[in-house]
Amino acid sequence: MKITKDLYQGSLALLTDFYQLTMAYAYWKAGKGEEEAVFNLFFRKHPFQGGFTVAAGLEYVVDYCRNFHFEKKDIEYLAGMKAPDGSPQFEKGFLDYLENLRFSCDIDAVEEGTVVFPNAPILRVKGPLIQCQLLETPLLNILNFQTLIATKAARITLAAKGEPVLEFGLRRAQGIDGALAASRAAYIGGCTSTSNVMAGKLFGIPVSGTHAHSWIMSFESELEAFEAYADAFPDQCVFLVDTYDTLQGIKNAIKVGEILRSKGKEMVGIRIDSGDLAYFSNQAREMLDGAGFPNAKIVASNDLDEYIIASLKSQEASINVWGVGTKLVTAFDQPALGAVYKLSAIRTEEGEWQPKIKVSQQTLKINIPGIHNVRRYYSQGKAVADMIFLEDQEVNPRGTVIIDPLDPTRRKRIMPAFYQGEDLLKPIFKDGKVIYSCPPIEKIRQRTKDQLGSFDKTHKRLVNPHIYPVGLEENLHHLRMDLVLKAKKFEDENE
Ligand SMILES: Nc1ncnc2c1ncn2[C@@H]1O[C@H](COP(=O)(O)OP(=O)(O)OP(=O)(O)O)[C@@H](O)[C@H]1O
Ligand SMILES: O=P(O)(O)OC[C@H]1O[C@H](OP(=O)(O)OP(=O)(O)O)[C@H](O)[C@@H]1O
Ligand SMILES: O=C(O)c1cccnc1
């Protein structure tokens, strides 16, 4: 798949914030552009007040970075930019530098479909400062959105308890790419299909759908409309029954179902798109069963989300398939995931990696210094804790303690010998070359399912979920505390 080429025909290097380019210029002027740094991409809070997040978007990142270069047209645009005094914004030497720039970073990242938690990196970039900086905005743009939507879809599909969820969002999505990326992420999160035909073509997602009220309204009567639809699609009839009178609509669907059956065909089901979905679905079930259609499915749609689905389940509604659009693809109750991208180490002139810290009044905002990875420990297939650790230091095999980065009094003992460990950040790029092969979307979707299955249900409930333990390995905790104290001492001495 070539997302950037298909959609945007060429370079996406200018899809960044202006300040990344001005910083890049200033790094270049200061002779610092080739200094190496490490940046981590992570979020601080689960979206939707939930207890888990599903990572998505890595394939876009791979495509973006693989194609990262400035084309002539990009350079021409930058050459035409003016500073406030009317002089060129960027010197020619810098523009030549950009034109010759070739992507050369290492990237490590969690695979799509991985369940992830606050503060632990989901992607790490190691490379020349200028490249790291230019990548900040596009990486956040891609991963924030797709991770948000994959998480929303996972919540919705969990609420549907294994019943199919059809994604209907295109008409309400945030523009064209918002719709495409949302359809992809929704499928990764667990939806069964999309109504978005282009997403089907680009990403290999199953496409499905029913029909609209306009189809019914274009005929003299609802019955005629159902009959005509049955003529065109004898094997794919899901009749929308609520255009005029829902109970009458169900009766008409049954009539046409009988006609189909007399021709050796079966109607697939009905769709209800308004009114009390619990009441009408139960009425429909009774009527369909009574008429000899116990296998006819009942599809429901109309501003659904995980909360309404859970409520309809608790009301024992007879709904088998859920059509969900607006609230899924717009992440209705939380429009953005707040992932950030922070520098955590710089390579000195002597070639040593120096961990970096940014001290903040809020513990929440003090970053995690150094070059780390995240190890997930499993016990009998169940995830028990995630440990953020310094990659160049051995974790004591006899046992260690992980410490909550926000509250050092919250600790958990880890005995690696009793657990299986998996390092979540996998090598994706080495020296600018891709060394990871993106799995087919079906595999990613399956990974989401398997990953969610490995977490206790208490972390997945919609309201007040139980917090999954994520902590810093002891050595990393001590390094962080030492650096914070040093920085504070320096501040005090200079006050
Ligand atoms: N039994 C139910 N329990 C909880 N929520 C429901 C139930 N039935 C429907 N809903 C939800 O209530 C909301 C009803 O919205 P609204 O009043 O706009 O729909 P409507 O008037 O029935 O249909 P429309 O205006 O689309 O023709 C929708 O979000 C729907 O999913
Ligand atoms: O409600 P959503 O979760 O976004 O699902 C998609 C909706 O889009 C369609 O109708 P549309 O909203 O265009 O018109 P209608 O509801 O007025 O029929 C469809 O019938 C669903 O109701
Ligand atoms: O196929 C459907 O039923 C459908 C598609 C888009 C939006 N609402 C419904």
In a domain, residue 194? The reply is yes
DSSP result, 214-275: HHHHTSSSHHHHHHHHHHH-TT--EEE--SS-HHHHHHHHHHHHHHHHHTT----EEEE-SS
On whether the pTM is more than 0.90, the answer is yes
Residue 120 CB coordination number (10 Å): 25
Residue 265, domain member (yes or no): yes
Confidence of residue 2 (pLDDT cuts 50, 70, 90): low
Judged against a pLDDT cut of 60, whether residue 3 lies above it is answered with no
Burial class (CB in 10 A: 0-12, 13-18, 19+), 155: buried
Residue 287 CA, chain-centre distance (Å), reads 41
CB 239 within 8 A of CB 219: no
**Is residue 222 in a domain?**
yes
The finding on whether 210 has its CB within 6 A of some atom of ligand 3 is yes
Confidence of residue 494 (pLDDT cuts 50, 70, 90): confident
The string of pLDDT tens digits covering residues 234-258 is 999 999 999 999 999 999 999 999 9
Q: How far apart are the first and last CA of the chain?
A: 55
Tell me whether residue 78 is in a domain: no
Confidence of residue 395 (pLDDT cuts 50, 70, 90): confident
- Look at residue 8 and tell me whether its pLDDT is greater than 90: no
Q: What percent of the chain has pLDDT over 90?
A: 92
Q: How many domains does the chain have?
A: 1
Domain of residue 248: give its range. 158-329
Ligand 1-lining residues (CB < 6 angstroms): 274-278, 302-304, 308, 311-312, 315
* 298 is a domain residue: yes
Confirm whether 180 is domain-assigned: yes
Encode pLDDT of 12-51 as tens digits: 999 999 999 999 999 999 999 999 999 999 999 999 999 9
Q: What is the secondary structure of 16-82 as a DSSP string?
A: S-HHHHHHHHHHHHTT-TT-EEEEEEE-SS-GGG-S-EE---HHHHHHHHHT----HHHHHHHHT-B
Nearest protein Cα to ligand 2, atom 11:
302
Report the C-alpha gap between 169 and 329 in whole angstroms. Answer: 6
Here the CATH number for the domain that contains residue 289 is: 3.20.20.70
Q: Among 166, 195, 211, say which to mutate for ligand 3: greatest number of ligand atoms within 8 Å of CB.
A: 195
d(CA 352, CA 157): 47
Q: Is residue 433 part of a domain?
A: no
Angle in degrees, CA 356, 359, 365, rounded to 5: 100
Q: Whose CA is nearest to atom 6 of ligand 2?
A: 325
Q: For 117-151, what is each residue's pLDDT tens digit?
A: 999 999 999 999 999 999 999 999 999 999 999 99
> Closest-lying ligand to the alpha carbon of 246?
1
Cα(372)–Cα(389) distance, integer angstroms: 5
Residue 32 lies in a domain: no
Angle at 220 (CA atoms; ends 217, 223), nearest 5 degrees: 85
Which ligand number lies closest to the CA of residue 324?
Answer: 2
Q: For Cα atoms 373, 182, 112, give the angle at the middle one, nearest 5 degrees.
A: 25
Cβ contacts of 269 within 8 Å, gap of 6 or more: 237, 238, 239, 296, 297, 298, 299, 320, 321
Residue 480: name the closest of 338, 381, 370 by CA.
370
